[in-house]
Each structure stands twice: as structure tokens, then as C-alpha cells.
Amino acid sequence: MDLGLEGKNALVCAASKGLGRACALELAAEGVNIALCARGKESLKQTADEIREFGVRAVPVIADMSLEEDRARFFERAVEELSKIDILVNNAGGPPPGGYAAFDLEDYRRALELNMLSAVDLTGRAMPGMIERQWGRVINIVSIAVKQPVDGLILSNAARAGLVGYAKTVATEVAAKGVTVNNACPGVMLTDRVRQLLGEDADLYTKPESGPVADVIRGLPAQRMGSPEEFGALVAFLASERASYITGVTLCVDGGAHRGLM
């Protein structure tokens, strides 16, 4: 399927590892130039080099998505190098786990800054140009927690749900202007972070009889974890011409883990 993305420009946040990296590489494979950011210099450089292997431009910028000044610098550098941003993939690492009694008001402020306001900020920066050109895609990487809150992740549950509410509102406002706004929800994906938590021997098709990996996959209808590439494929599709009539939706890539009807 031709996704109609060749020559487009994307800004992908937190893209040196995990799901952000998978999204950046999937878009690059479709001929999209990528501005990417991360906090770690070496992994950022490595991912930028991988992106360039697809024959597209890569603009790596060291930036922390929780800092407004870093977000502004990242966006300005991307526009300076690529001239315009057609696709925005908002992404950031999750806040620390814990229940309601574990955090004070400042913890909530930090979580909102990282997982909601960073996306609000960058969407606000990118949207005027998208509207002017009558073409744009905003895709927020959120979490299955926006469909069914996850026990012990109250900061993530609250902040990411707020972003979905914002995205739905914006999607309605810009739907007639050639711009779509959608949310992609990963379930349990086999990222480096998950390997650290479950053990370095974790694999997509490993089915041990006991242990952390067995505990996780036992509750998944697909009976395996997902790959970052499977998630990146959804994001690339939502960014495409083929998805031009899809907006304001929140889609799960979770192997059936979400049990709700909607």
C-alpha cells in the first residue's frame, strides 16, 4: 500500500528508543524526513544514522520533553532544517508508578507537563502551519490506561486521559481544514524498558511456565507481547493519505488486552 508520505516532514518526540524510535523508522521507510529528539546523545545519533539509511533527512536534537525551552528549541530547529512540519508524533516517557497517596501536587504538575502539556505545546506550535497548508497529522502516543486505568499508575492515568480530551476537542475544530488528530495506545510492547523489567531473555514468542514474562502474557488474548514495529505501523498509517478520514479516535495496539466495547 502506498501511504502517500514521500517527501513529507515529521517531528517525532523521544525517538531514540522504544516506540518513538519505531515510529520514526517506520515513517522514514515511507520516505518521510524526520526531526527527532531525545535526552541521550549516543542513542539519538544512532537512531538518526538508521533513519538516514532510508535516503531521507534526519535532524537529531537533544531535548527533554518536560522542559518548555527544550520543546521550543526542538521545534525551531526542525522548522529551520526542514522548512515545515507535516506530521507531529507526540511522545514522552511515563511518570513514576504509585497510588494516590504516594504523590503531592508537585508530582501531578510534573506529570501533566511531561505527558499532557508537552503535546499541547508542540501541537500549538505545529498546527498553524498545518492549517495554512490544509494538510497535517497529529498523533499522540498515549497508553492503554486512557481506555482502562492501570492500577498503580495514577499519574499516567490522569495526565494521558487529559491529553485525549484535548486531542478530541482539537480534532473536531480542525477536521474541515485537512488536519487529523488521533491517539495511539500501546499495550504491553517488547521495548528495552520492558526487557529491563521482565528480564533480558524476554521475547515476543517466549511462553515460559512461570516468572514475570509468564505473568504478563497470561493476561493477553494474543498470548504474546507486541513489537515496537507493530505499533510504528499504526502510527505511519494514521499519518498517511489513506487515513485522511480518520480523526478524533483513540486506537489500541494491545493484542486484545483492552476488554471494553469502544
Task: Tell me: do 197 and 245 sit in the same domain.
Answer: no
**Does 145 fall in a domain?**
yes
How would residue 19 be classed by pLDDT, with cut points 50, 70 and 90?
very high
Question: Hunting for cell 536534537 — which residue is that?
Answer: 61
**Does 19 fall in a domain?**
yes
Task: Tell me: do 156 and 62 sit in the same domain.
Answer: yes
Residue range 67-71: mean pLDDT, rounded: 98
Q: Which of 75-79, 222-226, 245-249 has the lowest mean pLDDT?
A: 222-226
What pLDDT is attached to residue 69?
A: 98
Q: Which of 22-26, 112-116, 191-195 has the lowest mean pLDDT?
A: 191-195
**Does 259 fall in a domain?**
no
- Does the pLDDT of residue 200 top 70, yes or no? no
Task: Tell me: do 181 and 195 sit in the same domain.
Answer: no
Task: Tell me: do 114 and 31 sit in the same domain.
Answer: yes
CATH number of the domain to which 134 belongs: 3.40.50.720
Predicted structure pTM score: 0.95
CA distance 211 to 205: 15
**Does 178 fall in a domain?**
yes
- Does the pLDDT of residue 143 top 90, yes or no? yes
Q: Which three cell numbers stand for residue 48?
A: 538518526
What pLDDT is attached to residue 1?
A: 76
- Largest Cα span, the chain: 56
How would residue 175 be classed by pLDDT, with cut points 50, 70 and 90?
very high
Task: Tell me: do 130 and 217 sit in the same domain.
Answer: no
Task: Tell me: do 164 and 245 sit in the same domain.
Answer: yes
- Does the pLDDT of residue 164 top 90, yes or no? yes
What pLDDT is attached to residue 191?
A: 86
What pLDDT is attached to residue 261?
A: 85
Note whether 21 and 250 are within 8 A (CB): no
Task: Tell me: do 40 and 26 sit in the same domain.
Answer: yes
Task: Tell me: do 235 and 246 sit in the same domain.
Answer: yes
- Does the pLDDT of residue 188 top 70, yes or no? yes
What pLDDT is attached to residue 193?
A: 77
**Does 4 fall in a domain?**
no
Task: Tell me: do 146 and 245 sit in the same domain.
Answer: yes
- Does the pLDDT of residue 217 top 90, yes or no? no
- Does the pLDDT of residue 128 top 70, yes or no? yes
Domain residue limits at 241: 9-187+230-252
**Does 258 fall in a domain?**
no
What pLDDT is attached to residue 198?
A: 76
Note whether 28 and 34 are within 8 A (CB): yes
CA distance 19 to 141: 9
Task: Tell me: do 183 and 206 sit in the same domain.
Answer: no
The domain tally of the chain equals 2
Residue range 226-235: mean pLDDT, rounded: 96
**Does 3 fall in a domain?**
no
Task: Tell me: do 29 and 100 sit in the same domain.
Answer: yes
Residue range 165-179: mean pLDDT, rounded: 98
**Does 78 fall in a domain?**
yes
- Does the pLDDT of residue 171 top 80, yes or no? yes
Q: Which of 66-70, 145-149, 208-212 has the highest mean pLDDT?
A: 66-70
Residue range 235-245: mean pLDDT, rounded: 98
Which residue has better confidence, 202 or 118? 118
Note whether 64 and 38 are within 8 A (CB): no
What pLDDT is attached to residue 211?
A: 78
Task: Tell me: do 196 and 136 sit in the same domain.
Answer: no
Residue range 4-13: mean pLDDT, rounded: 98
Identify the CA nearest to 92 among candidates 135, 57, 140.
Answer: 140
Angle, alpha carbons 126-131-133 (nearest 5°): 100
